[in-house]
Structure 1
Amino acid sequence: MPAGYDLAGTLGILPRGRQDPTCRIGSGGVWLAFATPAGPVTLHLAARADAAATAVTAGCWGPGVEAALAGLPALLGAGDDWSGFDDPDFQATLPRLVTEPRRRHRGLRLPSTGRVFDALVPAVLEQRVTTIEARHSWRYLVARHGSPAPGPAPAGLMLAPSPAQWRRIPSWEWHRAGVDPKRSATILRACAVAAGLDRLAALPPGPDLAAKLCSVPGIGPWTAAEIAQRTHGDPDSVSVGDFHLAAFVGYALTGRRTDDAGMLRLLQPWRGHRQRVVRMLGLSGVRKPAFGPRLSPQDHRFH
């Protein structure tokens, strides 16, 4: 990888919180546990930089080693091309709140995991609930219904449940995890077409991919965008329908809150790179004021 490559920053979009049992990012590198068509795998990545380049070393354990190593360049964002974004003429169109974070984070890439079903489940859990609720649900379900990661993995590193394992989770366990019937039903519908979903990794990012993801009842534009950002490194997808994003983008770019339509109008001049713009705004340090009441946690366990 090029000099200055940021391993933790690139893969930081993958874990669902610091306590995600399937992913650990820290001073000792990055640990990931996931399934491949050949079987489960534990992957450990560490970066060592010098003035000329950044060497990323990989340790792999489990039946899925070959598949994991084959997908490693895409996972690291090796094919993510920022040259158009970094072109001086394009940079001249961007506000300082975008260009300055880009200057400080030249080593950031957009990763492509290629694991569509794996990205879909936590995205569905995040639909219309607080981040705290969604992360608790993910941790609870993976810890109770996933599988230990193969090899010399850190204690507690887990594989997320397979589609068959998700289907075996009883209704009361979804309730204990705080997942309402609508979201659990969406996940179960996705389990029935999991193989087809994973074949979508071969498609380029864009409207066709989004349309195919949205063909699963319960998957809408927000969820499709959240998936594509992780599985395809989509440089243009915008999470329309996010509870906070439109207001944040509006405040960062104009000093005023806006809605989804207004956010898309603001980002339109940079179409093709809108996700890059959003990522840089997120790294700018800008925080929007609290415009209204927070989304309140909901308890679905007794409904």
Structure 2
Amino acid sequence: MHTDTERCVRAVQSKDARFDGWFFTAVTTTKIYCRPSCPVVPPKPANMRFYPSAAAAQQAGFRACKRCRPDASPGSPQWNERADAVARAMRLIGDGVVDRDGVPGLAARLGYSPRQVERQLLAELGAGPLALARAQRAQTARLLIETSALPMAEIAFAAGFASIRTFNDTVREVFALSPSELRQRARPAARPDEGDTGGTGGSGGGTGDAPPLTTLALRLPFRKPLCPDNLFGHLAATAVPGVEEWRDGAYRRTLTLPYGHGIVALTPRPEHIDCRLSLTDLRDLAGAIARCRRMLDLDADPEAVDALLADDPVLAPLITKAPGRRVPRTVDADEFAVRAVIGQQVSTAAARTHAGRLAAAYGERIEDPEGGLTHLFPSAAALAELDPETLAMPRTRRATLTGLVAALADGDLQLGPGSDREEARARLAALPGFGPWTVECIAMRALGDPDAFTATDLGVRRAAQGLGLPGTPAALLGRAAAWRPWRAYAVQYLWATDDHPINHLPTD
């Protein structure tokens, strides 16, 4: 979009928050870059330059606006919508792959050479993978500087910087303030409407040899509207005992992360999502935030989705009633795939019970000082050791589960944020016991495909028939062609016609 100068100028002049994250506006006279909705008086169009990423603006010599904090805007929706190599790379960079494995590691996951990845990202985003990762490190550093009392040296390494000097230089270059000045400036001005961070950091929990948890209070931005009912209702209604819970108005769950583990509590608010994140290793901060944002589908563009779906006269009243429905996704694609198999042809309650037993038997035990979480969901490697005969489920489903776990543990099946969605679909479909329902559920919630469509789902078919839509999967697929590329969102609106707990915000 950043190449459409006229459209970008209109968005900036109208301070249109819908375009935050789509592009960044740099002002040549001040050498500052902003989000489109920046509250300051818009500059003259002749002085505006537009960039597709914060990293590109930074590389061009612009620093972040202290007023609108463009680095804290919602992410571009296209990185979750698209399935090409650039979008996959952006999802992997957000998950911290470059910081952990370097550009060669990123390229290997994408199936390209480092030079090819560099060229593709530069062509589309104006910045290579190192610059994009650097911009993310700067954002992580700002979060830690403003929301914790950690020493700057600890923040530097937690944010992924190789040295204190690089940390200091980057913070000064991006924010035009030293780390100490950034902290001093944030403390007296911490009001709920001033950005995506809030609260203070601290340590808590941990007994015995368990690593201590460092807790940060953050705010996760999103594009309006957002309907929290089905989003949090689904997560709470399907919560695995010991791994997830609804407590005090928040969805809480454990997180398995590259450097350690964490616990997150997410509470819906009208303007943002409150995020209380406790980590055993702060190097996991950026990746944990990215996973939470993916799970809640916070980078979606609800106006674009709803506008297309509302063209259908059958869906239009549902959208008018509760606009902005998101697709409840997951923080761990492997975990969701296992749970999808466990949930085949059983009730929500039964699926929760089976998954809870699996977590208690094979998941790592953790301490939760603030609630009732007890385990991390077991990894594919841990589940590869299970005895199928101990599973209280039909023999055919045991075979399906063990086949999935073996494919995940061996690396034959890749379901992470950088996965090729169509390749993953094909590999899933080739496994024994995987029909269209299971494949599409995993595509929708684990792979994040916005066009995944569970035409064989009983709830979808009932809703369709109740609305006068075709009731058979084949006919419904034909009717749903007009909803592309947003069929996963159409599923949420169809499910919402039923009075099921997944469609209601839980009450404490």
Q: Deviations over 1:23-61 (max 9, x none)?
A: 223443110113223333211222333xxx325333223
Preserved contact between residue 48 and residue 55 of structure 1 (Cα < 8 Å): yes
TM-aligned CA deviation for residue 117 of structure 1: 0.9
CA shift digits 1:149-205 (9 cap, x unpaired)? 44435224432222232123334421xxx2223222222222233264445421365
Task: Give the paired residue count.
Answer: 275
Tell me the residue number matched to 1:201. Answer: 417
Matches of 1:79 and 1:99, distance apart in 2: 23
Q: Structure 1 residues 32, 169: closer, same or farther in 2, change over 3 A?
A: same
Q: Which consecutive residues of structure 1, in runs of 5 or more, have no partner in the other structure?
A: 288-303
Alignment of 1:162 with 2:379, yes or no, is yes
Alpha-carbon distance, 1:7 to partner:
4.7
Name the CA shift for 1:182/1:81 in 2 (closer, same or farther; >3 Å).
Answer: same
Give the alignment's TM-score, normalised by structure 2.
Answer: 0.48
> Which residue in 1 is equivalent to 2:305?
85
Aligned partner of 1:293 in structure 2 is none
What SS class does the counterpart of residue 252 from structure 2 fall into? strand
Partner letter of residue 71 of structure 1? R
CA contact (8 A) 2:415 2:424 kept: no
Matching residue of 2:140? none
Q: CA–CA distance in 1 between the matches of 2:467 and 2:367?
A: 46
Q: Hey, what's the Cα distance between the residues in 1 that align with 2:240 and 2:444?
A: 21
**1:16-165 to 2 correspondence within 5 Å?**
17=238, 20-49=241-270, 53-63=271-281, 65-66=284-285, 67-87=287-307, 91-95=310-314, 98-113=315-330, 115-165=332-382
Aligned to 1:222: 437
CA shift, 1:125, in A, is 1.0
AA aligned opposite 2:356: R
Q: Is the CA contact 1:115–1:198 (under 8 Å) kept in the aligned structure 2? A: no
Partner of 1:300: none
Deviates more, 1:147-156 or 1:77-86: 147-156
Q: Which residue of 1 aligns with 2:405?
A: 191
Quick one: which amino acid aligns to residue 62 of structure 1? T
Amino acid at match of 1:252: G
Q: Root-mean-square deviation (CA), in Å?
A: 3.0
Q: How many Å separate the matches in 1 of 2:379 and 2:395?
A: 19
1:254 and 2:473 matched: no
Distance in 2 of aligned mates of 1:124 and 1:279? 20
Gaps of 5+ in 2: 1-221, 501-508
If you compute each CA radius of gyration, which structure gives the higher value, 1 or 2? 2
SS at match of 1:214: helix
Task: Identify if the C-alpha distance between structure 1 residues 108 and 122 changes in structure 2 by more than 3 Å, giving closer, same or farther.
Answer: same
Q: After superposition, give the CA deviation of every residue in 1:230-262 in whole Å (9 maximum; x if it has no partner).
A: 2233322122433x245314312317x722112
**What is the alpha-carbon distance in structure 2 between the residues aligned to residue 152 and residue 119 of structure 1?**
26
CA contact (8 A) 1:44 1:59 kept: yes
Given candidates 433, 440, 447, the residue that maps to 1:232 is 447
Structure number with higher relative contact order (C-alpha < 8 Å, ≥ 6 residues apart): 1
> C-alpha displacement at 1:71, in angstroms?
2.6
**Partner residue in 2 for 1:298:** none
Residue 325 of structure 2 aligns with an amino acid whose one-letter code is L
User: Contact (CA 8 Å) 1:34, 1:40: kept in 2 or not?
Assistant: yes
Moved more, 115-124 or 75-84: 75-84
Note the C-alpha offset of 1:19: 5.8
Secondary structure at 1:38's aligned position in 2? Answer: coil
Output the CA distance in 2 between the equivalents of 1:171 and 1:204. Answer: 30
Give the 3 Å change call, closer, same or farther, for CA 47–253 of structure 1 in structure 2: closer
- TM-score normalised by the chain length of structure 1: 0.76
Amino acid corresponding to residue 228 of structure 1 in structure 2: A
Q: 2:335 is matched by which residue type in structure 1?
A: D
Identity over aligned pairs, percent: 23
Q: Is the 8 A contact 1:112 1:233 kept in 2?
A: yes
1:15/1:138 Cα in 2 relative to 1: closer, same or farther (>3 Å)? farther
Aligned to 1:273: 486
